[in-house]
C-alpha cells in the first residue's frame, strides 16, 4: 500500500495542481475585483439604484449556486475538460457583456452569465483524476490557498484597475483572465481515466445523508452567513470610506491592502491554537462574535477613517480565520466517503450566501442607508453565533481513500474489522471502486493493522 501521508508529488502532479490553482485564481480574481468598486463606480450607470447595485454584486451567486452540483455531475458523464472549457468561455462572455453595458441591468445580466460558468466542481474532479490519493489533500490545499490569495489581490487590484481603466476596463480584464485560464488548461497533462472518488465529487447516494447531518448543516449555515455578510458589507464599506472617512474612491486600494495583510497575520495564532489544542469550536464561535462586534462598531457610525481602517483590519482577521477553518471543519465532520458531497453542498451554500448578501445589502442601503446595512449584518452574525455555540467540538480526524485487494473486496466484515483498529473512527467500503474510505486519527492509527486488512 502506498503511504497516504508521505512522499513527494511527481512533476506531472505539481504541474496539474499549480495549473488548476491558477485557473481557479484567475476566475475568482475576476469575480472578486468588482466588490470594492461597484458600489462607488456603479452609481454612474444608467438606471442604477442601491438595490440594483447590490443585485449586481451578488447576481453571480444565484446561477453559481444553482449549477454548481449539476455541472459537477455532468463532468462525470461527458468529461471534465468540455465542462471546464465551456464554463470559462461563458464566464468570459459574461464579463464582456458587463464591459459593454451602459446600464445597471446590462451589468447584472453579465454577472448572472458569469455565474453560469460554474466549473469549480469539475476542476476539483479533474484534480482528483490527475493526482494520486496520497497527494490529493496537498493539491486541494494549494487550490484553497490560491482562492484566498486571489481574494486579497482582488481587493487591491480592483480599485487600481478601475481608477485607470474604468468599470468597463475592469470587466475586460476579467474576460482576459478567463481566456488565459483556457490557455493554462491546454497545458494540463491528460488524465488516463475519470476516477470515481467520493472525497472530491458529489455522490448521489450520499446527498440525502449529508442534508440530514445536523453538524454539517450548521457549517453550511455558517458559510452562507459569512458570504452574505461579506457581500452586504461591500455594498456599504466603500461608501462608508467616502462618506464617513472622507477618502476618495481612487485611494481605497491601500485601505484594503493594509486591512487584508494585517488581518491575515492576525488570524494565524488563533488557527494554530485551535488545531493544536483541539478547540476549534471555541475559536470558531469567538471569530463569529468578533465579526458581530465589527458590524456593531460600523453601525455606530462617526468613527472616521482611522476607526474604519481599524474595524476593517479586525473584520478581515475574523473573516480570514472563518474562511480558512470552515472547509477544514467540513472535512472533519463529514462521514467517511462523504467529503465530496459535503463540500458540494457547502459550496452551494457559499454562493447562495453571496447572492443573498448582495441583494440584502443593496435593499437595506436603499431602505435606510449605511446604519441599516450594518445592523442587518449584525443580526445575521448574531443568528450564526447562536448556531455556532450549539455545535459540538469536531472530531480531529483525516479522511483517506485506500485501494483494496480482490480478497479484501470480498471480505463482508472488512468495515467492522477496520473500525476495531486503533485510530480508525469511520469506515465505508465501496466494492464498485475496490476502495475503502476511512476517517483516521493520524496520531493513534495502527497503520500496519490497516495494511494487513486491506491487502
33 Cα distance to chain centroid: 16
10-190 topology per CATH: Growth Hormone; Chain: A; (1.20.1250)
13 Cα distance to chain centroid: 22
Q: What cell numbers appear for 211 in the block?
A: 442534508
Q: Within a 10 A sphere around the Cβ of 445, how many other Cβ atoms?
A: 20
What is the pLDDT at residue 1? 41
Q: What cell numbers appear for 371 in the block?
A: 446604519
Give the pLDDT confidence of 154-206 residue by residue, as tens digits: 889 999 999 999 999 999 999 999 999 999 998 887 765 555 566 666 677 77
Q: Which CATH class is domain 212-396?
A: mainly alpha
CATH number of 398-454: 3.30.70.100
Q: Do the Cβ atoms of 75 and 200 come closer than 8 Å?
A: no
Rounded CA-CA distance 93/90 in Å is 5
Q: Do the Cβ atoms of 281 and 394 come closer than 8 Å?
A: yes
Q: What cell numbers appear for 152 in the block?
A: 486579497
What is the pLDDT at residue 4? 47
What is the pLDDT at residue 90? 95
Q: Which residues contact 404 (CB under 8 A, 6 or more apart)?
A: 414, 429, 434, 435, 436, 454
Give, in order, the Cα–Cα distances in Å from 407 to each of 3, 415, 431. 20, 14, 11
Rounded CA-CA distance 275/269 in Å is 10
**Residues 21, 24, 25, 30, Cα dihedral to 10°:** 170
Give the pLDDT confidence of 23-39 residue by residue, as tens digits: 988 888 888 899 899 99
Q: Which residues pair with 399 in a beta bridge?
A: 439
Q: Do the Cβ atoms of 94 and 111 come closer than 8 Å?
A: yes
What is the pLDDT at residue 362? 94
What is the pLDDT at residue 168? 94
Length of the chain: 455
What is the pLDDT at residue 103? 95
Residues of the chain with CATH 3.30.70.100: 398-454
- Tens of pLDDT, residue by residue, the chain (455 residues): 445 444 577 887 888 888 888 898 888 888 889 989 999 999 889 999 999 999 999 999 999 988 988 888 888 788 888 999 999 999 999 999 999 999 999 999 999 999 998 888 888 878 877 877 666 667 777 777 788 788 888 889 999 999 999 999 999 999 999 999 999 998 887 765 555 566 666 677 777 778 888 889 999 999 999 999 999 998 999 999 998 888 998 899 899 988 888 888 888 888 888 878 878 888 999 999 999 999 999 998 767 888 999 999 999 999 988 988 888 788 788 887 777 788 888 889 999 999 999 999 999 999 999 999 999 999 999 999 999 988 888 887 877 788 888 888 788 888 888 888 888 888 888 887 788 888 888 788 888 888 888 87
Backbone φ, ψ for residue 117 (5° rounding): -75, 60
What is the pLDDT at residue 5? 44
3-state class (DSSP) for residue 277: coil
Q: Treating both helix axes as pointing N-terminal to C-terminal, what angle do 252-276 and 214-243 enclose, rounded to 10 degrees?
A: 150
Q: Which residues contact 275 (CB under 8 A, 6 or more apart)?
A: 396
3-state class (DSSP) for residue 430: strand
Q: Within a 10 A sphere around the Cβ of 234, how many other Cβ atoms?
A: 24
Give the pLDDT confidence of 389-401 residue by residue, as tens digits: 888 888 878 777 8
Rounded CA-CA distance 66/58 in Å is 13
Residues of the chain with CATH 1.20.1250.20: 10-190, 212-396
Amino acid at each position: 500500500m502506498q503511504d497516504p501521508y508521505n512522499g513527494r508529488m511527481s512533476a506531472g502532479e505539481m504541474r496539474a495542481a499549480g495549473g488548476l490553482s491558477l485557473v481557479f485564481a484567475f476566475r475568482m480574481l475576476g469575480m472578486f475585483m468588482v466588490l470594492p468598486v461597484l458600489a462607488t463606480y456603479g452609481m454612474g450607470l444608467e438606471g442604477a439604484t442601491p438595490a440594483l447595485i447590490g443585485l449586481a454584486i451578488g447576481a453571480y451567486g444565484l446561477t453559481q449556486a444553482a449549477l454548481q452540483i449539476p455541472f459537477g455531475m455532468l463532468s462525470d458523464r461527458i468529461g471534465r475538460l468540455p465542462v471546464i472549457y465551456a464554463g470559462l468561455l461563458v464566464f468570459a462572455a459574461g464579463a464582456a457583456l458587463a464591459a459593454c453595458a451602459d446600464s445597471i441591468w446590462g451589468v447584472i445580466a453579465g454577472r448572472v452569465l458569469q455565474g453560469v460558468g460554474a466549473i469549480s466542481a469539475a476542476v476539483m474532479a479533474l484534480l482528483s483524476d490527475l493526482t494520486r490519493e496520497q497527494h490529493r489533500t496537498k493539491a486541494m490545499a494549494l487550490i484553497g490557498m490560491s482562492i484566498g490569495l486571489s481574494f486579497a489581490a482582488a481587493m487591491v487590484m480592483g480599485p487600481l484597475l478601475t481608477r485607470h481603466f474604468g468599470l468597463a476596463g475592469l470587466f475586460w480584464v476579467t474576460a482576459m483572465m478567463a481566456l488565459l485560464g483556457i490557455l493554462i488548461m491546454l497545458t494540463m497533462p491528460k488524465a488516463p481515466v475519470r476516477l470515481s472518488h467520493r472525497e472530491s465529487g458529489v455522490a448521489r447516494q450520499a446527498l440525502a445523508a449529508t442534508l440530514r447531518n445536523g453538524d454539517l448543516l450548521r457549517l453550511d449555515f455558517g458559510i452562507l452567513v459569512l458570504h452574505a455578510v461579506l457581500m452586504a458589507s461591500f455594498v456599504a464599506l466603500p461608501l462608508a470610506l467616502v462618506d464617513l472617512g472622507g477618502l476618495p474612491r481612487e485611494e481605497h486600494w491601500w485601505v484594503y491592502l493594509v486591512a487584508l495583510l494585517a488581518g491575515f497575520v492576525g488570524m494565524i495564532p488563533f488557527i494554530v491554537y485551535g488545531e493544536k489544542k483541539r478547540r476549534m469550536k471555541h475559536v470558531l464561535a469567538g471569530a463569529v462574535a468578533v465579526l458581530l462586534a465589527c458590524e456593531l462598531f460600523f453601525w455606530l457610525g462617526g468613527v472616521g477613517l482611522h476607526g474604519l481602517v481599524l474595524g476593517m483590519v479586525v473584520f478581515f482577521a475574523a473573516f480570514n480565520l472563518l474562511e480558512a477553518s470552515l472547509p477544514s471543519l467540513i472535512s472533519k465532520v463529514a462521514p467517511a466517503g462523504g467529503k465530496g458531497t459535503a463540500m458540494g453542498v457547502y459550496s452551494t451554500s457559499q454562493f447562495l450566501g453571496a447572492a443573498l448578501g448582495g441583494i440584502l445589502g443593496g435593499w437595506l442601503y436603499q431602505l435606510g442607508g449605511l446604519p441599516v446595512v450594518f445592523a442587518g449584518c449584525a443580526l445575521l452574525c448574531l443568528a450564526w453565533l447562536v448556531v455556532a455555540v450549539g455545535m459540538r467540538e469536531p472530531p480531529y480526524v483525516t479522511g483517506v481513500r485506500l485501494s483494496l485487494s480482490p480478497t479484501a473486496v470480498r471480505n463482508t466484515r472488512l468495515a467492522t474489522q477496520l473500525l476495531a483498529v486503533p485510530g480508525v473512527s469511520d469506515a465505508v467500503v465501496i466494492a464498485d471502486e475496490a476502495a475503502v474510505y476511512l476517517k483516521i486519527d493520524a496520531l493513534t492509527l495502527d497503520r500496519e493493522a490497516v495494511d494487513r486488512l486491506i491487502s
